Amino acid sequence: MTALPQLSQQILHLFSQPDAREQLTHILHGIEKESLRATSSAQLAQTPHPRALGSTLTHPSITTDYSEALLEFITPVYEQAEDALSHLRQLHCYTYRHMGDEMLWVNSMPCVLEGEAHIPIAYYGDSNVGRMKAIYREGLANRYNKAMQTIAGIHYNFSLPAGFWKLLQQQNGETGSLQEFQSRGYFRLIRNFRRYSWLLIYLFGASPAFSKSFLEGDSNDLETLDEDTLYLPWATSLRMSDLGYQSDAQSSLKVCFNGLESYTATLREAITTPYAPYQKIGLKDAQGNYLQLNTNLLQIENEYYSSIRPKRVIKSGEKPVCALTARGVEYIEVRCLDLNPFTPLGLDAEQCHFLDSFLLFCALADSPVIEDAECIELDRNYTRVVNEGRRPGLELIRQGETIELKAWANRLMEQVAGAASLLDRANETQRYSNSLIAQNAKIDNPDLTPSAQVLAQLKGNSQSFIDFGIESALKHHSAFSACQLSDDETAELALLAQQSLQEQLQIEQQDSVEFDTYLEHYFAQN
């Protein structure tokens, strides 16, 4: 069996130098956190997005994802993860002031759903760009179902500074475009992430159970905990299972992230390839209302569900695939993180510090191209950990041979520790190494994982998933409702909300073409 990739002595020596070590203090972090608005009895909120929070189309930090009730909080980027968490806390405090009797649901799996008719699609106004966002969501409803789109998660954005990539380029003795070298570096990170992200699912998965209302009576192979709660006894993240963010239609997309060119080519093909079941749905109904943006395998790039994405900040109206092709990868977005119901924000600083160490390891370790056989192996490992990651003695497949999850996790953590040590020295702290201590404890004792803690709470207190969700949400509701914002913080968030409403109005007034033409121009970008 081939040895695990590890940080080479050359890499460790390079980042022991002051100039190189200093680059590790300029890593950028951003957090995107989704949460459903729910009533005090855990029904999905049917109310519009609170106007006091601003426009969901143009507000930089408070918007919605699929549903009008699915809030999304977006922080600016910061060099310290603690600063991103602090900003996220401010957004929560401000939002709770304007939610009335509603609360934020703190689990990734949704609150009580009362059928498709009671899952309102997000509204973004009457502009062309606003209509496009709403029709995309209408297409998701017609292609999959609305319930799947009510699942919430956390996206962790991670960017290494240009100076970091320049040092690596010099270390490798390479010349040429730094942009292209950086993109290759991010895809090296992504390939290693694909190999080892099962570890994140094990450590941070927090959705082993959910309410029967999520499936609306569909058949399943789950076990019944009580009259309303379904679960799997060893599951870590049913959110990431075939019950959640999965699609049969996308199974034909073989995207193993070997490089920018192959990645963007795959997405371009999917966005332009007709798909018979979606053609059957039709583009418009008899009254001329759009049912989806197109009848292709993907409407737009964001429809491709993946645990990680290469990203580039886009210009207004620009297709993401065009931005990546033109200007390369700018950062990566980790998308496999459940909300932790035991923490007010859904994640904490300790988790962020571990993610930084893990992602830095993925960026620096060797990362061979993923061949088709390994791609299948990785998908199977991921699925196994999602569904039964805490099963005693669980085995995974590494390069064609079986290895016990615990043994592999321990060896992998030894390598991540090297990256944590680099970050500790650069930032003159021990918080990165300390974050590994907490995760190693979960490997030694699966009962410490969030997924095990959720099930222990349900069983120990004879609680349903919904009752547990209400109790947790009310606890966080009380904390955030009582939190204090400074006058300046309150004024700034109120101003952002007002400015966003004005900006939406200006966009609507400035539209100069019919929507059909706008859509045609958008998809014509090359």
pLDDT (tens, 9 = 90+) of the chain, 526 residues, equals 445 667 888 888 899 899 999 999 999 999 999 999 999 999 999 999 999 999 999 999 999 999 999 999 999 999 999 999 999 999 999 999 999 999 999 999 999 999 999 999 999 999 999 999 999 999 999 999 999 999 999 999 999 999 999 999 999 999 999 999 999 999 999 999 999 999 999 999 999 999 999 998 677 889 999 999 999 999 999 999 988 655 667 777 777 689 999 999 999 999 999 999 999 999 999 999 999 999 999 999 999 989 999 999 998 889 999 999 999 999 999 999 999 999 999 999 999 999 999 999 999 999 999 998 999 999 999 999 999 999 999 999 999 999 999 999 999 999 999 999 999 999 999 999 999 999 999 999 999 999 999 999 999 999 999 999 999 999 999 889 889 899 999 999 999 999 999 999 999 999 999 999 999 999 998 7
**DSSP 8-state assignment for residue 341:** T
Beta-carbon contacts of residue 478 (< 8 Å; ≥ 6 apart): none
What are the residue ranges spanned by the domains of the chain? 9-523
Q: Where are the alpha helices (DSSP H) in 219-291?
A: 260-272, 276-281
Distance CA 207, CA 300 (A): 28
Total-model pTM: 0.96
Beta-carbon contacts of residue 81 (< 8 Å; ≥ 6 apart): 29, 349, 352, 353, 356
Q: Where are the alpha helices (DSSP H) in 461-486?
A: 465-482
Query: Is the distance from CB of 469 to CB of 42 less than 8 angstroms?
Result: yes
3-state class (DSSP) for residue 134 = helix
Geometric angle at alpha carbon 305, from 165 and 389, rounded to 5°: 90
Residue 291: which of 404, 140, 442 has the closest Cα?
140
- pLDDT value at position 1? 46
Residue 78, strand partner residues: 29
**Token pair 């798909």: residue:** 275
- pLDDT value at position 257? 87
**DSSP 8-state assignment for residue 283:** S
Residue 274, strand partner residues: 296
Treating both helix axes as pointing N-terminal to C-terminal, what angle do 431-444 and 405-427 enclose, rounded to 10 degrees? 170
434, two tokens: 């300390």
- pLDDT value at position 98? 95
- pLDDT value at position 131? 98
Beta-carbon contacts of residue 65 (< 8 Å; ≥ 6 apart): 34, 71, 72, 122, 149, 152
In sign, the C-alpha dihedral spanning 449, 78, 309, 164 is: negative
- pLDDT value at position 246? 59
Q: How many helices (H) and strands (E) does the chain have?
A: 18, 12
What fold characterizes domain 9-523?
Answer: Creatine Kinase; Chain A, domain 2 (3.30.590)
